A and B are shown apart, each in its own frame.
Chain A
Amino acid sequence: MTDECVGAERLGELLQPIIDGHGGDPGMLVQILREAQEALGYLPAAALTAIARAVGLPRARVEGVAGFYSFLHLQPVGRYRVLFSDNITDHMLGSVELMDRLCNRLWIERGKVSEDGLVSVDTTSCTGLCDQGPALLVNGRAMTRMSAERIDRISEMIRAELPLDDWPREYFRIEDNIRRRDALLNTCWPAGEALRAALARGPEAMLAEMRTSNLRGRGGAGFTTYIKWESARRAPCRGEPPERYIVCNADEGEPGTFKDRVLLSSYTDLLFDGMSVAGFTIGATRGLLYLRGEYAYLLPALRENLARRRRDGLLGTALCGQDGVCFDIEIHVGAGAYVCGEESALLESLEGKRGVPRIRPPFPVTVGYRGQPTVVNNVETLCKAALIAVNGGAWFAGLGTKQSTGTKLLSISGDVEMPGIYDYPFGVSVAQVLNECGAGNAQAVQISGPSGTCLGMHEFSRHVAFEDVPTAGAFMVFGAHRDMFEVARNFAHFFAHESCGFCTPCRVGTSLVANCMDKIADGHGSQYDINEIFKIHRLLHVASHCGLGQSACNPLFDTLNKFRPAYERRLRSLDFEPAFDLDQALAAARQMTGRDDPAAHFGLAARVPGVTT
């Protein structure tokens, strides 16, 4: 971290190696900006100009990209930048109070850098540590299980300007918390097992196994993996050099989801095997792993693993000694944008652009990364492809249900005794899962995160499967004492914060809805606002450009239907109420004029002389 005003020369010295490290490729802009920020603390205007010149992009393009991602800063930030994970599960574990506590200890206001530039404290979207929250990031490094005691210690260490490396290791410990093993989590093969199996089968036979397996994508949409692979394999390559790509979606941004984190940490070889199998099968020689910025702490281990695989002939040319079979993997790190989990936004980000979802058609399988046929698959999907390479499609199809074959990892958090990762065959009932994770008095489960479904008690007999309750893995449990309105309000703010802003309905609608929820929370709500939420839901659901906007109102819609009293008890009238406090709107004028007479007030205060606000 350096001083704010780095001289032009020094700036060049710091930036050059970073830019050279990426061959001056404008397609690597997001990576370059991330690393530049690591070197400079933030991205001052002069640095953007220098980077733009060096990679041959218009400056405004570079600024536009830097301005898109939450973790890239155009203004100075604290030398210690603390970001509390803002998921509802963190709230339930006390994160809001802990953040206030830290702010008080450090004498700072949330969201503002302290005057000496030492520290800033703010929130960030779910960091994927819901099973060991409250969690936070300090200068991008994940910390878990925060408590009042830890927060006090952290405030001391920050004030003493203790380097992060000297903080207690314990604070940075991240557990896998694997609670139930099944087909996927039971595997413990040596690296390359699945790749060798696929090579032995040959691409056509591997594809046939995929078809037999009926594997469907684990990232949310549930698209049949075989069809994706087959389409990309058949699609003509268009660019120079002709190429196909396998992209692993490790953006895992859906609040409440953390199963990919565990696969990335402890099933790394299975994942890289899966990517290699996919590459071999569709005729791709390059794989890209898009790792969410929050998981950057996994980078050293992942890179080490790749290096080992290269040494062992599991990556590079002549895979497993077979001439002509080439595949290598590189890792791109995201910079704080949930929308980049959407596959076409992810491709834009991989190409160094703002993470804005593309117009579809065409789909990535025909026009993907750098215009070439590309398969984008979730981490878990690729791990399952590795299982299929070894055990065959029929074995896989024998697990789960007919339409939802195989097992599914659930990331369970919230009001349960044993939060963590559970591997279940598809078709398991919600009730059984609740029972086994120790959810004593659940009133609701949010399945597949905010963009998924909120189930009430009367629906616990339903089944986790594409044909009933589909899921990308999140399973957040809310006990009877929880306020489902606050749950929905948290989700509404999540979507408003994460909307990419491309299309009108989502850009404006998500903010309108978040404001509406705040209005109700502040005691200014009325039936009118409830109707507004429904109206905006109907619009966003159909007119938004991508899945984010389309599902942004789902949690409100569900909770309004299933937990309506949580809203109603907050309403002030059945008719209409203004969004702000009338009396408070006069406070500034009272202060300026020094008046406090009854006419200087609204409401009750107006009738009680001498009462001030």
Chain B
Amino acid sequence: MEAVVQNRKLRLATTSLAGCFGCHMAFLDIDERLLDLVERVDFDRSPLTDIKQCGACDIGLIEGGICNAENIHVLQEFRRQCKVLIAIGACAVNGGLPAQRNHLSLGQCLQEVYLTWPGIVSGQIPNDPELPLPLDKVHPIHEIVRIDYFIPGCPPSGDAIWKFLTDLLDGRTPRLGHPLLHFD
């Protein structure tokens, strides 16, 4: 075996669960480096492509936490398909803003929002089978499946994402030092 990094193009999938797409926007902030990136990776399922089902991938990037049944299905699919799964952004890492509902009961929340909110007349809690059911609590993704790496930040900067991915692609253990590592 030669001591060189193999040159096969890697497959990368991304998705947004209970997130705000802020992290995907930040991903695009790597700007012209995106061109370097597509030299080295192919995109599988991602809002940037139109692929709906994740195939076998090397790297999966997950934005957002887990707040409903569909989030879990997608996350589990990513875990099955991706060799390396990365949590990106505050919401994926610790639940973020959506998790601030966690000290309320879900029943109360639904009641408030759909039935008793001022201005609501004859409201109804949506029960269409097409809609994913909400979980009783919002969770960071590492509470559901094993996660290999984390890129915190709300959102992380394009530079942080770039540094992380290039470390990974070049076979170095990814590290974020000051000032790329931030939680806000």
Given A592-B107, A593-B127, A599-B69, does the pair A585, B136 have CB atoms closer than 8 Å? yes
B11 at interface by CB-CB < 8 Å: no
B176 at interface by CB-CB < 8 Å: no
Cross-chain contact B69 with A586 (CB below 8 angstroms): yes
In the complex, how many angstroms separate the beta carbon of A525 from the nearest chain B beta carbon?
Answer: 14
Residue of A nearest to B145 (CB): A576
Cross-chain contact A589 with B136 (CB below 8 angstroms): yes
In the complex, how many angstroms separate the beta carbon of B85 from the nearest chain A beta carbon?
Answer: 11
A570 at interface by CB-CB < 8 Å: no
A585 to B135, CA, bound (A): 5
Residue of A nearest to B106 (CB): A588
Cross-chain contact A592 with B110 (CB below 8 angstroms): yes
Cross-chain contact A591 with B137 (CB below 8 angstroms): no
In the complex, how many angstroms separate the beta carbon of B95 from the nearest chain A beta carbon?
Answer: 14
CB neighbours of B127 from chain A (8 A) = 593-595
B105 at interface by CB-CB < 8 Å: yes
Chain A interface helix/strand/loop/mixed: helix
A587 at interface by CB-CB < 8 Å: yes
Partner of B125, one of A528, A592, A600: A592
Cross-chain contact A589 with B146 (CB below 8 angstroms): no
How does the 8 Å CB contact mask read for B126-137 relative to A, with 1 for contact and 0 for none?
Answer: 110100111111
Cross-chain contact B143 with A578 (CB below 8 angstroms): yes
- The interface centre, meaning the residue of A582, A587, A590 with most chain B CB atoms within 10 A of its CB, is A582
A586 to B143, CA, bound (A): 16
In the complex, how many angstroms separate the beta carbon of A188 from the nearest chain B beta carbon?
Answer: 61
Interface positions, chain A 576-613, Cβ under 8 Å from B, are 576, 578-579, 582, 585-595, 597, 599-600, 602
In the complex, how many angstroms separate the beta carbon of A206 from the nearest chain B beta carbon?
Answer: 61
B72 at interface by CB-CB < 8 Å: yes
Residue of A nearest to B124 (CB): A593
Partner of A576, one of B69, B125, B146: B146
A594 to B134, CA, bound (A): 13
B51 at interface by CB-CB < 8 Å: no
In the complex, how many angstroms separate the beta carbon of A519 from the nearest chain B beta carbon?
Answer: 11
Cross-chain contact A589 with B145 (CB below 8 angstroms): no
B144 at interface by CB-CB < 8 Å: yes
In the complex, how many angstroms separate the beta carbon of B11 from the nearest chain A beta carbon?
Answer: 22
Interface positions, chain B 95-154, Cβ under 8 Å from A, are 105-107, 110-111, 125-127, 129, 132-137, 139, 143-146
Given A582-B72, A586-B69, A588-B106, does the pair A597, B129 have CB atoms closer than 8 Å? yes
CB neighbours of B135 from chain A (8 A) = 585-586, 589
In the complex, how many angstroms separate the beta carbon of B43 from the nearest chain A beta carbon?
Answer: 27
A-B contact pairs, 9 of them (CB 8 A): A575-B146, A576-B146, A578-B145, A586-B135, A587-B136, A592-B111, A593-B125, A595-B129, A600-B129
Please list the residues of chain A having a beta carbon within 8 angstroms of any beta carbon in chain B.
Answer: 528, 575-576, 578-579, 582, 585-595, 597, 599-600, 602
